[in-house]
Structure 1
């Protein structure tokens, strides 16, 4: 059975090197190569997004309040997320290691929670209602 993994891309908050305009083509080429290799080696990208800087975030702490921007001093931020379905975690790790070598980012791979066919929004709402 395949597992879906969230590949979280931790990028330097100051925007280097990942967000430098002079590196935009090289960075885009890396992501295109990642997508190509993932598909070619039997994995499947099921979703993903690039995120704005952490300073644009709105944080909600239920019962406490809402704040703008990151809640701590950050050296890195989550810059983007891929969702990858795979039967081969070591193979996925190898692709990330080879394609993104030297880009200054850290890649966290974490399995997503399978709610048995229930979409995540419904499962979260149900869990809150039970609490």
Structure 2
């Protein structure tokens, strides 16, 4: 089964970390990503640009409205994701717990809805 692991972290706090800590976390992410590639769990994954680069789109009464930034103010922002293959939710949660940002933010684990064709 496929799961989307959404990585949430406070952008303002992340911006305050020193270069050494940032480089260490990047190395941890690289090691984590390589491990799930080797294990066959990795399907896709990317880091997202900051929410200051986001645009939110809504359609109301047939009119498109755009707003700079995310839809809602939150303490943590979506910073990236992994799409993984795991045998069940427990296995997906175990993988999510290994994501480096789980120590400072949160990882939302959500199963992918597969449409019957």
> Fold conserved (TM > 0.5)?
yes
- Structure 1 stretches of 4+ with a deviation exceeding 6 A read none
Aligned CA-pair RMSD? 2.6
Change (3 A) 1:11 1:20: farther
Who is 2:21 aligned against? 23
Change (3 A) 1:46 1:18: farther
Who is 1:95 aligned against? 95
Q: TM-score, normalised by structure 1?
A: 0.71
Question: How many pairs are equivalent?
Answer: 114
Distance in 1 (CA, whole Å) between partners of 2:23 and 2:30 is 10
Deviates more, 1:23-32 or 1:107-116: 23-32
Structure 1: gaps of 5 or more residues? 118-131
**Conserved? CA contact 1:45–1:84, under 8 Å:** yes
Distance in 2 (CA, whole Å) between partners of 1:18 and 1:79 is 15
Q: More relative contact order in 1 or in 2 (CA 8 Å, sep 6+)?
A: 2
Q: Does 1:66 align with 2:66?
A: yes
**Conserved? CA contact 1:56–1:68, under 8 Å:** yes
Deviations 1:40-89 (Å, cap 9, x if unpaired)? Answer: 5x442111111011121111111251111123322110000100011143
Distance in 2 (CA, whole Å) between partners of 1:22 and 1:77 is 22
Change (3 A) 1:107 1:99: closer
Three-state SS of the structure 1 residue aligned to 2:79 is strand
Correspondence for 2:30 among 29, 32, 51: 32
**Conserved? CA contact 2:6–2:82, under 8 Å:** yes
